Chains A and B, each alone.
Chain A
């Protein structure tokens, strides 16, 4: 214990928050090189520290204190309530992701900002946002969570406001929904206080245990409290019907900001949903509901199934919307939403089934493990590929002079092959091609859904996966290939990213393949061995689950041996390569080899059909997307507007009228009180 005695002074949350704030301070340095190096060091240190702690603590390394001995960072609010931020392994698991994404995005940012854009706010605010995110992740108290959450939302709003690319009101939409979330959470906290008769301490883990008890006395109040507390989390995780802010907010900002938002920031929503679902389980599983609503009422399966079905439909809808987008930023935004819905669906299935599907505890345990770790692993996969997709787009954004619309892009891969490969692998991972991280993670989710016998949901999820092929191809074709929209002379002036950017791209590519080639090991690594423990528990309970280094297996139900997959993948490609090599070669001809109606390419003749090639299918699905939840909200807004203007129409311009009205009200109240 000797070497880390200072731990009694500093807690893990403090270290991570302080290092992020340090990175933010470094962002103020004017010298570009010094700034980047210092930021790189501080963010890498934070990521490495998170990794070290998460692995070391759970494994019980000698150089670290025991998990139980870790001091929380506390602020005493009242006699009963203490705000505390503490490390536990889920915190650590998400912290590694956030800090890692921060590291990559900050390091790559220079490649994505145009010369006329001010980068300082980005370099300062992003680490600050990461610090706030980490505070949120480490909150073990609902009130502490509330404060951290609002801090986080505020920093994010500042970033969005500064980098408002399209001026479509994205930041304000975000601000509005954050406000709704904050008020809802505050109301939820208040109701929870009432429901507990003032006895609650608002500790998250404590709530998981005490909410069932509160439910017995105040069932409706507790349920309302829990639901209200969940609203901001659902907003962040873009759970329908609270998802309407996401596309415009992600789509209207700068690619680098969007990269951090969708890769790291949105994961807070997943984390919060994870914590909240346990509390939600607590209230719906209470026996009180059976006595209130009748013995046949299966509250838990119903509640969870409705939520899961909403998410599955949502992921199909967002994926269908994604491929109809004309703007790459919006395409990725919709794609990101769809993936987030996948993760929450996995959590809902996993956590819901443990209490809902009592027939066979082994199956429930297995599905729980699959769903839970599927969500976490997919959060990682999504973090990596969405970040890569946005960063690659950002590099093009810089070089094209700020274009993100498909009909103004095209053919950039000829000039930026490494960046293209980063984007390409990101898309392969998005559509979950085997050997990519996205497959290894989505596979767990599918397995959970199938093994838990949610067949229609599985079909929905698989169709959302198919729809992702459509948008992935639009991303690949629209940005990287196809014909150059700006002519050859412009394209010849485009340069590949710097050596630094190439290194980052290669690392990201490596990560994408690594996460897909040996998923069990990577998953175990980032979750600090807790996967192994869970699988062992499952095995001890007689559960048939096995997630090894490179094997996923649910006994008798399914198996993927990633080692064999890697070998056979190589074999297949090699055989194809053999045929390719043995076949006759190519002959160089002096012909401008773009398709051009048999004419050499000239800019005025070029045909760019990127905006139209899903046209037929878009026309088919278009009527169904007239059912928009956003329109319902707008309709509510209109009603409020009319109501307000109706009230306004009462205005007589004479203060005495109001005085009379007030006096009348007082008299009325007195009369009522008397009788």
Chain B
């Protein structure tokens, strides 16, 4: 065996090791993010229980729920596209997470390979997958739930996009880490949220965010007493478990996106803290508000937050 072969073998070994480490990093990152997302959901349940003057479940209840759901055996024999939809639904937010700057927590830098538009479109892979599964399930309630979710999406995307684009107009980039770097980390005066005229865009986008998280008052798509929990009506067992995981991952992604654009979330640590703050604000509103009708919600979203965000955008562009 000559030296070249040895070196080749060694480099192949190193390559393999590198790939292994990278895979591990990706897995650790995804598990961490989903775990934090589930923790947020636990906070939500505890929080709303306390608001309702109850003791509430333990804060780790979502973990228990997910373990239970994943361990169940579904009694459904559906078309295999149903399973495909569920996999796509859970996979979508995971891909989205990989493109967020949060990934530097384990030393990855995939976020430098994608930008805002990619992220906006990756964000719908998950919902679309579950919409497909709901459609395969053939329940009319599922179709109504999807219809409502998509109507809501049309509603909240407009103020959210207008708000985000105001930031793009100011910073001149759609790369997330560059937008974050243009703000200060801990000084609120350096956040886009508290700068004139971006504050208008931020308020509009923040109302849109409430719709994006489908918290009250924009919670029509999952209306258990009205349409039998909508999209989820045919999901039980592992499908529902994967949907909970998807919800957790999406929470991180959506809140993270907002934190990066408006709260100067630069490092993973401060991003996570800001995600917590944003989520507490969102669930505070959720705990005390009722639910709009779908048409009311759509009108509300396309009226006030849109006007505010548009004003913010126009002032940013022309001022």
Contact = CB atoms under 8 A, between A and B. Distances in A.
Contacts of B313: 455-456, 459
Contacts of A580: 83, 86-87, 90, 238, 242
Nearest to A571: B26
Given A433-B124, A557-B175, A584-B70, A466 B117 contact: no
A557 B141 CA distance: 43
A557 B172 contact: yes
A616 B165 contact: no
A491 to B, nearest CB: 12
Contact of A617 (B95, B139, B157, B295): B295
B125 A433 contact: yes
B76 interface: yes
A586 B128 contact: no
A579 B113 contact: no
Nearest to B124: A469
B169 interface: yes
Contact of B146 (A465, A565, A587, A613): A613
Contact of B154 (A456, A467, A558, A571): A467
B88 to A, nearest CB: 7
A434 B91 contact: no
A568 B154 contact: no
**Chain B contact surface mostly:** helix
B155 to A, nearest CB: 8
A107 interface: no
B128 A595 contact: no
Contact of A607 (B72, B74, B112, B140): B140
Contact of A565 (B113, B139, B150, B314): B113
Contacts of A620: 295, 298-299
Contacts of B90: 576, 579-580
Q: How large is the interface on A (under 10, 10 to 19, 20 to 34, 35 or more residues)?
A: 35 or more
B255 interface: no
A473 B146 contact: yes
Nearest to A610: B143
Contacts of B197: none
B50 interface: no
A569 B126 CA distance: 12
Contacts of A439: 121
A593 interface: yes
A577 B87 contact: yes
Nearest to A414: B79
Nearest to B79: A414
Contact of A575 (B30, B110, B168, B234): B30
A565 B118 contact: yes
Contacts of B233: 595
Contacts of B158: 459, 463, 466
Given A431-B124, A466-B153, A466-B157, A584 B79 contact: no
B94 A557 contact: no
A582 to B, nearest CB: 7
Given A463-B158, A557-B175, A575 B99 contact: no
A436 to B, nearest CB: 10
Given A455-B165, A617-B295, A466 B94 contact: no
A42 interface: no
Given A459-B162, A576-B91, A609-B144, A583 B125 contact: no
B150 A470 contact: yes
B76 A575 contact: no
Interface stretch (B129-137, B183-191, B259-267): B129-137
Interface string A404-448: 000000010110010010001000100111100001000100110
Given A459-B158, A469-B128, A594 B138 contact: yes
A574 B132 CA distance: 19
B71 A584 contact: yes
A617 B88 CA distance: 27
Interface string A567-607: 01101111111011011111111010111000000000001
Interface string A450-464: 100101101100110
B140 A609 contact: yes
Contacts of B91: 569, 572-577
B75 interface: yes
Given A432-B121, A443-B117, A585 B81 contact: no
Given A572-B92, A580-B86, A583-B241, A559 B138 contact: no
Contacts of B174: 450, 557-558
B73 A565 contact: no
A607 B233 CA distance: 15
Nearest to B112: A559
A469 B70 contact: no
Contacts of B110: 564, 568
Contact of B173 (A434, A446, A558): A558
A411 B139 CA distance: 12
Interface string B157-171: 110011001101100
Nearest to B99: A568
B115 A576 contact: no
A568 B121 contact: no
Contacts of A588: 77
Given A455-B165, A595-B139, A613-B147, A558 B157 contact: no
Contact of B242 (A565, A576, A609): A576
A413 B81 contact: yes
A608 B91 CA distance: 30
Interface string B80-104: 0101001111111011001100000
Contacts of B140: 483, 595, 607-609
Contacts of B114: 559-561, 564-565
A561 B111 CA distance: 10
B79 A470 contact: no
A93 to B, nearest CB: 25
Interface in A457-516: 458-459, 462-463, 465-467, 469-470, 473, 476-477, 480-483
Given A558-B115, A595-B139, A609-B140, 5 more contacts: A414-B79, A483-B138, A579-B242, A595-B141, A620-B298
15 contacts: A453-B169, A469-B128, A469-B153, A470-B150, A560-B114, A571-B95, A572-B91, A572-B98, A575-B27, A580-B86, A584-B237, A593-B77, A609-B144, A614-B150, A614-B151
Interface of B: 26-27, 30, 70-79, 81, 83, 86-92, 94-95, 98-99, 110, 112-118, 120-122, 124-125, 128, 131-132, 135-144, 146-148, 150-151, 153-154, 157-158, 161-162, 165-166, 168-169, 172-175, 178, 233-234, 237-238, 241-242, 245, 293-295, 298-299, 310, 313-314, 317
